[in-house]
Amino acid sequence: MIPLPPLAPPGVLVEEALACDAAFFPTREHYADLAAALRADGFEMCVDVCGVDYLEHADRYVPEGITPTRFEVVANFLSLSRRLRVRVRVQAGNDAPRVDSLFHVYPGTEAPERETFDMFGILFDGHPDLTRILMPEEWEGHPLRKDYGVGHVPIQFKEAPGPR
């Protein structure tokens, strides 16, 4: 169990989540504050930011007091000095998911947040340049959402019928 950082904002839960290291479940308002507290507490690096769409897995485990929403943003922090990892899972909302950007605390989150926006349509408030990064600019939809269909090419087992 990783102790709460001394500057942690109120309303943040710590959980020894399933099969993982410690995970913090802040509320959306406290997400950026928690990141700043972690930064001050010696977590020098935000390794990764990614999103998850829990549309088809709504009954997942979340601690008491946290309302699960469809979209979740997961950020992984690393402390090089203490050799610790910490994961922060914030519920981003159902229909119009948005969370605060960590760009001003950890500038290295710029590209991962853009990718999360591109793939899930989760908005990051305060991000300097929230544009698509992997998909073309005029692309419609956000491909990693669960209600976004998977394209496929039908497998042809027999010779194709001729033109006549």
Partner 1 sequence: MSDDIRVANRPERLTVETSEGAQELIRRVDTGTDQLGREVGAVLRLDGVSLDPRQVDYERRDDETMIINMGPAHPSTHGVLRLMLELDGEFVLRTKVVIGYLHTGMEKTGENLSYVQGATNVTRMDYLSPVINELSYSLTVEKLLGVEVPARATWIRMMMSELNRVSSHLVWMATNGMDLGSTSMMIYGLRERELILAFFEKTAGLRLNLNYVRPGGVAADLPDGWEDDVEVICNTIEERSYEYDQLLTGQPIFRNRLVGVGAITAEEALALSLTGPLLRSTGVAWDLRRSMPYLAYDQVDFDVIVGTYGDNFDRYALRLNEIRESIRIIRQCVQKMPAGDYRSQDPKVTPPPRARIGESMEALIHHFKLFTEGFHVPAGEVYSAVESPRGEIGCYLVADGGPRPYRIHVRAPSFTNLQAMPLLMRGASVSDAITMISTVDPVLGEVDR
Using CB under 8 A as the criterion, which residues of the chain lie in contact with partner 1 when the complex forms? 17-21, 44-48, 50, 52-53, 56-57, 60-61, 74, 76, 80, 83, 85, 87, 103-112, 115, 119, 128-129, 131-138, 143-144, 150
Short-list 52, 35, 126, 127, CA closest to 88: 35
In the bound complex, what is the minimum distance in angstroms from residue 128's beta carbon to partner 1? 3
Q: Which is nearer to partner 1, 93 or 143 (CB)?
A: 143
Three-state SS string over 110-144 comes to HHHHHHHHHHHCCEEECCCCCCCCCCCCCCCCCCC
Q: Which is nearer to partner 1, 85 or 98 (CB)?
A: 85
Q: Which is nearer to partner 1, 66 or 164 (CB)?
A: 66
